Amino acid sequence: MTPAGSIGRKLGLPLNLRDAPSLITRTLRSAELAVVETRDDDPMSGLCGALPSDDAYLVSIKFRDYPDCECWERGQCVIKTDIRAGSTYLYDLKRDPRYVIDKPFHSLFFYLPRSALDDIARQAGAPRIGELAYQPGIGHDDTVVRHLGSSLLQALHRPDEANQLFVDHAMLAVTAHVAQAYGGLRCGTEPARGGLAPWQVKRACDKLESDLGGKFSLEQIAAEFDLSVGHFSRAFRASTGLPPHQWLLRQRVNTAKQLMRVRELPLSEIAISAGFANQSHFTRVFSNVVGVSPAAWRRDTQGVPDRDT
């Protein structure tokens, strides 16, 4: 697998960034997807360098306004317009997209190769997707991209806490959404609504529970049953009521609760044992799922003051 850092360099260097935080995942047929954050609060002025001329698209969510942005394709300026924070923009890397850098910028880019779009269409039993529909330099409010982008931004800022299953799920969701919203994807057959067989549920849950740190990818687990990632995710949710990454978080919380019933264990040790990156990560997830902090839960459950803060 290509290291995430190489994707960051590949997209960051044309923007005069030494590196850019990035995360990667793969589709069933190993098409490489990536999400990359680009930010420069004091950029060098000039036309940006050439982005990789891949058969791929960039889908970008902007986090700050960029007035009078001069957008180029195929060696010439195609539009000069105001970029609005919160808007989504598409770029076809085959068209040599560039823009003039003369103001601070902050964006998130989804790198979606043609092979990933082909995988999505194949899994849906649909015809191959043609060119994505977009106008250079014209953005709009895409709530799906905006919400998933905001979630993945948190994972980029806390890579040690990033759940690989969540990254896989979110990236595939972005790809499917882009294929439908901009590529006109229509399923050729009604998607299967059934869940996994009982033995498959048990094996999948055992696999997830054996690695509370969440290092297994959806691709690895789906391969256990010779299923596509999308099919496995839908079937797992139908069987358990939760997508794999949410199921894993609940197991971490349940494991932590069991450990907290042992009063001698400090919360910092419980956090690591239950698969969390650190105590801060443990506290955030536990509080979101349970509604109270781990310390408060243990205090209320055990009826004694918590010795660990």
Q: What's the pLDDT tens digit per position in 10-54?
A: 899 999 998 789 988 876 556 788 999 999 999 999 999 999 999
Q: What's the pLDDT tens digit per position in 126-181?
A: 888 889 999 999 999 999 999 999 989 988 988 877 778 888 888 988 998 999 89
d(CA 267, CA 85): 39
- Look at residue 191 in the predicted model and tell me its pLDDT: 46
- 65 pLDDT exceeds 90? yes
**Superfamily the domain 4-181 falls into:** Jelly Rolls (2.60.120.10)
Say whether pTM exceeds 0.75: no
Torsion of CA 166, 126, 58, 227, to 10 degrees: 30
CATH number of 262-302: 1.10.10.60
**Per-domain residue ranges of the chain:** 4-181, 198-241, 262-302
Query: Of 181, 157, 175, 165, which Cα lies nearest the Cα of 63?
Result: 157
